[in-house]
Amino acid sequence: MPFDIFKRVSRAPTNPKDTPRSRTFDVADLYQGPLQSEFDTTDTAVALDEKLRQAYFWVVNSAIISPHYDIEYNDTPPQSFVVGDSKRRLTLPSAQSYSSYVLLPLLTFATRRKCLFVGGPGRGKTASAILMGVLAGYPVKEVRRAMQHGHPQMTIADLLGNPLPADLVGAQRMEDIRIAWRNWLGMRVKIIDEYNRIPTRTQSALLTVMGDNYAEVLNHIYECPESAWYLTANDDQGGGTYQVIEALRDRIDVIVQALAFNPRFLSDLLVRIEEGIRPEEVVPKEIVFSEAEIDQMHGEILQVELPAPLRRRLEFFTSQFELSETAGAQFEYMTKDTARLSAVDWAQLVAADNGRDRLKDLGCQTLNGLSVRNLMTLLVYAKALAYFRGNNSVELEDLRQILPFVLNDKLRADLDAPFFSLPQNAAYRCDSISWLRHLFDLSNAEYERLGLDQEDPITQLEQEFSLGLESVSESETRTRINRIERLVAEWCKGRKLYGHLYDDLLKLKYLHQRYTNYLHWLRSQK
Amino acid sequence: MTISSEFQEVLRAGRPDFNARAAEARHRYPSFNSELLGQFLTHSVDPFVAAAAPECRGIVASAAYDVALELVGRELAGGHTRGRLLDRLWQEVLPALVGILPAQPAPMLCALCNALLNLHAQGARAEQWLQLLLEQAPQIRGDVLPDIGVLAAWRAGAVQFRFAALRLASAHPQAASAILGLPEQGELTKQLPLLERDPWLLNPGNANVLGHEVGRFTGYGGHFPTPPSVRACAAGFMVKSEDRYFLLLADSFGALLLPASANEYLAATDYQAPASPAPGLIDGGLHTLRGRVEHSFCRDDLQLAWNEHSAALYSPYSFSIYVVPWR
């Protein structure tokens, strides 16, 4: 039958680029067109980024009704309209834009990381997760059976597997007990439905699998393959039957929210009911990825370049948040982490910190800083987004768009901060995605105001240091040490301490120490 | 007009299945017009099905019905120019070809519809293509039908297929001779290198080809939002009009514009046009090795670009480009 409503995959390039095209005209060019003919070149190998985009467009057009283009790209200034009493802005993007609810799970699939779906019941969280399993080449039934449903009675044995009863009775040693491991542990897409209903003890077992990629029962180890994880929760507050343990929450790489259904798309639901079609059962084979393809795609994503100026902006953004001047007496310990470990009342610490402009300082908006894991996740997803868009290097907009989904629930807002009490910022109290994006915009504005793209003494010193110390003379080493000391003196003179300055000073201290050690070594050689 | 008894018989036999397919098409295409489907089946598909041999009429009708659903669903069929071309394909050409279509004819039917739509969209002479196919129908075999289609497409002005068609011409010398006016086999082998080199060497219908005028203002359905600027390149000419870029190809059978990119337009800067001999503008007139060429452009600020064989005349006061052979 030529009419497979749900099986159409985009045949045109999903993100056409202005690349030189071949001008050799083929006979098939005459016969290809809107109607499918035998001249269609469907069997030619599709680049994996194109295949990923085809998968995205199939999911977004045929499978998941998610007409929310919240990841906006513009190549020319977009049309934008102010609407409502609250003067919210509706933007009509001028370039290809995406729905986070579909895109983020796909990027998770490509990078084999961990994605949490949040949202009310019946929003398609589980269906989306199942689709990802099908994209990895598993039959729908197998994906459904392998899905772990969180419930209050769930035990570690339910989750990981049982020792064989006969071995339990007859075995003389632990090694003799064979374990019947659960099948889902060996799959490349793992789905945990309603993970916030899993009891705390079982959550710990899950943490080992999620964090370290192995399962342990009675001293027996099962090494899991690299896999993409999809977890669902009815809200992202760790609610449900059990509180989600902090470490488990921290293992989640991105959080996507299932946005509300737009009733203007009810006719699409009607077609599904009338035709008796479930999208996950009719995934076109053209967008199913083999294991080798997923491996290759992952490798290609990691090869995407993150340009140094962009990395510098991310460094600047990150350095805004960790400083807590009142939390430590020694310079290195003046961090929010020190305050958190000491369990001192946060409000007291904040009250003592009266030196800075608390509205201007971005660090005052958060309760914590960014962890290494957060940053690594951010870099991987930024690369994945650039790859998905068919680019070889990450752009600022990629970083800007992906950052809120990675840092959501990781960089926590201090809702008592003066920033949130301003009427125009009230919405940011609830909408953490927009707040995080705004935070990044503010950081970029500050970065540009300071002209760090044009002149950044630390970068110059870094570049000098990265050339190596071999054959650097004693006098040259002294010159460099003097330069660092002058810079530190200059920066400390009468300036307020902000996050980025704090990190810069620590970096200068690091360089100073490396040169000092080298100087000692040089002297010892004489 | 009523439907033929042959088609009626097939439709009656498979009524539930045909109805289900139509219902599915209505779901798939939001603007599906059932009335138009009825008309297209009656006026266009019916002659084709009726011409099929009784033993394969069921398969032919089923395939034709599916293609008709898609053509109607995509709003390709109808009373517009494109629709009228499709009507002629189904009413005249396909009945003549029905005997040589493959056992599963749907892909070939789709391919022929696509070809017709492509030629029309690119500004080639789709009517002429249909006529050439109709004339060749009694002589051709099913397996060479696509090749004959390409030869006819070139003859009808799809100049991008010149090299492909010349390669096919040596495989189908009789058809090439009939369609393109090429010499018979022995001579053709000798002439192929020359024909590949010079796009204006062929002389269709022994008429002296003067040139082709291409492009129009977008407001009148053309390609150019502003008067175009032209740069010569080896393949033809790169054309820029506001933020749109085109490759202009021309030969003795026609000229057409294909989408191009800014990079290709920029790359054309490096092209070195022959310096001597070369065409030139004297007192607003175009002078070539073939003599003075008359044109309808305003003589002020007239511009000229040329490559190995063709010269393109354009003006800041016109939305057209006039391409002529100059050697």
Q: What is the pLDDT of residue A17?
A: 61
Whether residue B304 lies within 8 A of chain A, CB to CB, comes out as: no
Any alpha helices (H) in A136-232, and if so which ranges?
140-146, 156-160, 165-170, 200-212
Whether residue B104 lies within 8 A of chain A, CB to CB, comes out as: no
Chains A–B, number of C-beta pairs less than 8 Å apart: 92
User: Residues A10, A67: one domain?
Assistant: yes
Q: What is the pLDDT of residue A353?
A: 74
Of the three residues A420, A449, A478, the one that is the final residue of a domain is A449
User: Residues A235, A336: one domain?
Assistant: no
Q: In this structure, what token pair is assigned to residue B147?
A: 């090749």
User: Residues A11, A49: one domain?
Assistant: yes
| Averaged pLDDT, B106-118 | 94
User: Residues A374, A480: one domain?
Assistant: no
- The question of ipTM being above 0.90 is answered as no
Single-letter residue type at B283: D
Dist CA B126 CA A517 (whole Å): 82
- Residue of A30, A36, A62 best to disrupt the B interface, most CBs of B under 10 A: A30
Whether residue A5 lies within 8 A of chain B, CB to CB, comes out as: yes
B264 contacts A27? CB cut-off 8 A: no
Q: What is the pLDDT of residue A44?
A: 54
Q: What is the pLDDT of residue B185?
A: 61
**Which of A3, A23, A29 is closest, CB to CB, to B24?**
A3
Percentage of chain B lying above the pLDDT 90 cut = 54
**How far, CA to CA in Å, does B112 sit from each of A504, B60, B257, B263?**
68, 15, 22, 33
Whether residue B166 lies within 8 A of chain A, CB to CB, comes out as: no
Residue written as token pair 């045909």: B18
**Which of B27, B69, B115 is closest, CB to CB, to A31?**
B115
User: Which residues of chain A lie closer than 8 angstroms to B244, CB-CB?
Assistant: none
Instruction: Please report, to the nearest 10 degrees, the dihedral formed by the alpha carbons of residues A108, A111, A114, A116 taken in order.
Output: -10
User: Which residues of chain B lie closer than 8 angstroms to A20, CB-CB?
Assistant: 261, 263-264, 267
CA distance B142 to chain A (A): 14
Q: DSSP state, A223? A: E
Q: What is the pLDDT of residue A136?
A: 92
User: Residues A43, A168: one domain?
Assistant: yes
Of all residues in chain B, the one with the smallest CA distance to A62 is B28
Q: In this structure, what token pair is assigned to residue A132?
A: 């990802």
Higher pLDDT, B113 or A342: B113
A274 contacts B115? CB cut-off 8 A: no
CA distance A76 to chain B (A): 13
Whether residue A77 lies within 8 A of chain B, CB to CB, comes out as: no
**How far, CA to CA in Å, does A79 sit from each of A75, A94, A99, A277, A465?**
12, 8, 19, 37, 47
User: Residues A476, A349: one domain?
Assistant: no
Residue B154 has pLDDT above 50, yes or no: yes
Whether residue A16 lies within 8 A of chain B, CB to CB, comes out as: no
First to last CA, chain A: 87
CA distance B168 to chain A (A): 10
User: Which residues of chain A lie closer than 8 angstroms to B66, CB-CB?
Assistant: 2-3
A34 contacts B262? CB cut-off 8 A: no
- Please name which of A382, A387, A384, A435 lies closest in space to residue A411, comparing C-alpha atoms: A435
Whether residue A81 lies within 8 A of chain B, CB to CB, comes out as: no
User: Residues A426, A464: one domain?
Assistant: no
CA distance A271 to chain B (A): 7
Dist CA B194 CA B327 (whole Å): 14
Structural domain boundaries of chain B? 1-122, 135-197, 212-325
Higher pLDDT, B283 or A109: A109
Of the three residues A245, A273, A302, the one that is the final residue of a domain is A302
User: Residues A298, A322: one domain?
Assistant: no
User: Residues A334, A383: one domain?
Assistant: yes
Q: What is the pLDDT of residue B201?
A: 84
pLDDT in tens, A145-188: 999 998 888 999 999 999 898 888 888 888 888 999 999 999 99
- Residue of A21, A31, A75, A269 best to disrupt the B interface, most CBs of B under 10 A: A31
Of all residues in chain A, the one with the smallest CA distance to B102 is A38
| Averaged pLDDT, A308-321 | 94
Whether residue A45 lies within 8 A of chain B, CB to CB, comes out as: no
Which letter, b or e, does each residue of A330-339 get, where b requires 16 or more Cβ atoms within 10 Å of its Cβ? eeeebbbebb
Contact B319, B228 (CB under 8 A): yes
Whether residue B25 lies within 8 A of chain A, CB to CB, comes out as: yes
Residue A180 pairs with which residues in a beta bridge? A162
Structural domain total, chain A: 3
Q: Can you give the CATH number for the domain in which A173 is found?
A: 3.40.50.300
Q: What is the pLDDT of residue A280?
A: 84
Residue written as token pair 């993970």: A195
A21 contacts B66? CB cut-off 8 A: no
Residue A514: pLDDT band (50, 70, 90) is very high
B71 contacts A35? CB cut-off 8 A: yes
| Domain interval for residue A463 | 457-524
pLDDT in tens, A236-290: 454 556 788 888 888 999 999 888 888 888 888 887 887 777 888 888 888 899 9
Q: What is the pLDDT of residue B2?
A: 81
Whether residue B113 lies within 8 A of chain A, CB to CB, comes out as: yes
Q: Please, how many CA atoms are within 13 Å of residue B171, restricted to the half-sphere of its CB?
A: 14
User: Which residues of chain A lie closer than 8 angstroms to B153, CB-CB?
Assistant: 30
Cβ count near B287 (within 10 Å)? 16
| Averaged pLDDT, A219-238 | 83
Whether residue A3 lies within 8 A of chain B, CB to CB, comes out as: yes
Of the three residues A269, A302, A335, the one that is the final residue of a domain is A302
A2 contacts B106? CB cut-off 8 A: yes
Of all residues in chain B, the one with the smallest CA distance to A268 is B27
Residues 248-277 of A with CB under 8 A from B: 271, 274-275
User: Residues A156, A254: one domain?
Assistant: yes
Of all residues in chain B, the one with the smallest CA distance to A274 is B27
Q: β-strands B229-232, B237-241: how paired? A: antiparallel
Of all residues in chain B, the one with the smallest CA distance to A267 is B27
User: Residues A441, A470: one domain?
Assistant: no
B163 contacts A32? CB cut-off 8 A: no
Whether residue A20 lies within 8 A of chain B, CB to CB, comes out as: yes
Q: What is the pLDDT of residue B248?
A: 94
Whether residue A347 lies within 8 A of chain B, CB to CB, comes out as: no
CA distance B208 to chain A (A): 27
Dist CA B315 CA B324 (whole Å): 15
Residue A365 has pLDDT above 90, yes or no: yes
A26 contacts B164? CB cut-off 8 A: yes
pLDDT in tens, A37-66: 777 765 556 789 999 999 999 888 888 877
Residue A148 pairs with which residues in a beta bridge? A192
A2 contacts B66? CB cut-off 8 A: yes
User: Which residues of chain B lie closer than 8 angstroms to A35, CB-CB?
Assistant: 67, 70-71, 110-111, 113-114
B261 contacts A20? CB cut-off 8 A: yes
- Residue of A37, A38, A267 best to disrupt the B interface, most CBs of B under 10 A: A37
Residue B69 has pLDDT above 60, yes or no: yes
| Averaged pLDDT, B113-137 | 93
**Which of A18, A34, A38 is closest, CB to CB, to B74?**
A34
Q: Can you give the CATH number for the domain in which A381 is found?
A: 1.10.8
Residue A67: pLDDT band (50, 70, 90) is confident
Whether residue B150 lies within 8 A of chain A, CB to CB, comes out as: yes
Residue written as token pair 């460099």: A480
pLDDT in tens, A453-501: 888 889 889 989 999 888 889 999 999 999 999 999 998 887 788 889 9
Average pLDDT, chain A: 87
- Please name which of A261, A225, A8, A240 lies closest in space to residue A125, comparing C-alpha atoms: A261
Higher pLDDT, A381 or B290: A381
Single-letter residue type at A358: R
Host H or E run for residue B316:
none
Instruction: Please report, to the nearest 10 degrees, the dihedral formed by the alpha carbons of residues B2, B4, B8, B10 taken in order.
Output: -150
User: Residues A445, A472: one domain?
Assistant: no
Dist CA B199 CA B307 (whole Å): 12
The three-class DSSP label of residue A136 is coil
Q: In this structure, what token pair is assigned to residue B182?
A: 């090429």
Q: Is the peptide bond before B277 cis (omega within 30 degrees of 0)?
A: yes
Whether residue A43 lies within 8 A of chain B, CB to CB, comes out as: no
